[in-house]
């Protein structure tokens, strides 16, 4: 995980607690977000953020604690949308399995309805298979849009009423 991402996580967590006046352990923040770091690494990241004026630091023998500054709040607000969009918030292996299984279920439902519309469905199957292959590479919030895009691109308006009903269920594994 990059230091930029670690800095963002620290600022984001401190931002969530900006009004309570407390200091929070940088190591605990990172460890709690599946970014295991040493005391030394947490200290270096804290020093970097302090030099930029984004946090105030308090050190003890075994902890580096921080509180966000006004400048840190402004910085996180300006970055929030941009970093969230570029986030590596991709699906975990379990989430990927749930989504891929849901897409497989959708394909099976469509196969039962494809009589007379094979061309449309073949294109849709191809698109859905491509999405299954990239599920772990795209942010979670974009997966649903990818599936909707595949449906629209394949000519959703030309599908039968039965197909439209079958397609109304994917939200259960995408939300």
- Summary mean pLDDT of the chain: 77
Burial of 27 (C-beta count, 10 Å sphere; 0-12/13-18/19+): buried
**Of 86, 106, 132, the domain-final residue:** 86
Q: Are 76 and 141 found together in one domain?
A: no
Burial of 136 (C-beta count, 10 Å sphere; 0-12/13-18/19+): middle
Q: Are 106 and 149 found together in one domain?
A: yes
Q: For residue 27, what are the domain limits?
A: 3-86
C-alpha Rg value of the chain to the nearest Å: 23
State pLDDT tens for residues 52-83.
999 999 998 889 999 999 999 888 887 765 55
Provide the domain count of the chain: 2
Q: Are 68 and 112 found together in one domain?
A: no
Extract the runs of DSSP E, i.e. beta strands, from the chain: 24-25, 55-60, 63-68
Residue 90 is classified by DSSP as: B
Helix (DSSP H) and strand (DSSP E) numbers for the chain: 9, 3
**To the nearest 10°, the Cα dihedral for 142, 147, 153, 157?**
-130
CA 164 to centroid of chain Cα atoms: 28
**Of 31-45, 79-93, 158-172, minimum mean pLDDT range:** 158-172
**Of 86, 108, 141, the domain-final residue:** 86
Specify whether the CB–CB gap between 149 and 119 falls below 8 A.
no
pTM over cut 0.75: no
And the tokens for 160? 């039968």
At 86 the pLDDT is 47
State pLDDT tens for residues 1-53.
578 888 888 998 999 999 898 999 999 999 888 888 999 999 999 999 999 99
41-80 burial, b if ≥16 CB within 10 A, otherwise e?
bbbebbeebbeeebbbeeeeeebbbbbbbeebeebbeeee
CATH of the domain at 32: 1.10.10.10
How many CB atoms lie under 10 A from the CB of residue 111? 12
Specify whether the CB–CB gap between 58 and 19 falls below 8 A.
no
């Amino acid at each position: 995980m990059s230091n930029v991402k670690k800095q963002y996580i620290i600022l984001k967590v401190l931002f969530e607690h900006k009004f309570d006046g407390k200091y929070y352990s940088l190591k605990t923040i990172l460890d709690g977000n599946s970014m295991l770091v040493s005391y030394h690494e947490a200290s270096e990241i804290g020093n970097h953020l302090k030099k930029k004026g984004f946090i105030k630091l308090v050190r003890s023998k075994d902890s580096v604690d921080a509180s966000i500054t006004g400048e840190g709040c402004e910085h996180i607000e300006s970055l929030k949308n941009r970093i969230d969009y570029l986030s590596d918030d991709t699906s975990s292996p379990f989430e990927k399995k749930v989504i891929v299984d849901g897409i497989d279920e959708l394909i099976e439902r469509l196969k039962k309805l494809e009589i007379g519309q094979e061309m449309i469905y073949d294109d849709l199957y191809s698109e859905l298979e491509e999405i299954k292959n990239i599920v772990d590479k795209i942010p979670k919030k974009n997966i649903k849009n990818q599936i909707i895009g595949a449906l629209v691109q394949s000519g959703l308006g030309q599908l039968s009423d039965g197909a439209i009903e079958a397609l109304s269920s994917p939200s259960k594994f995408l939300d």
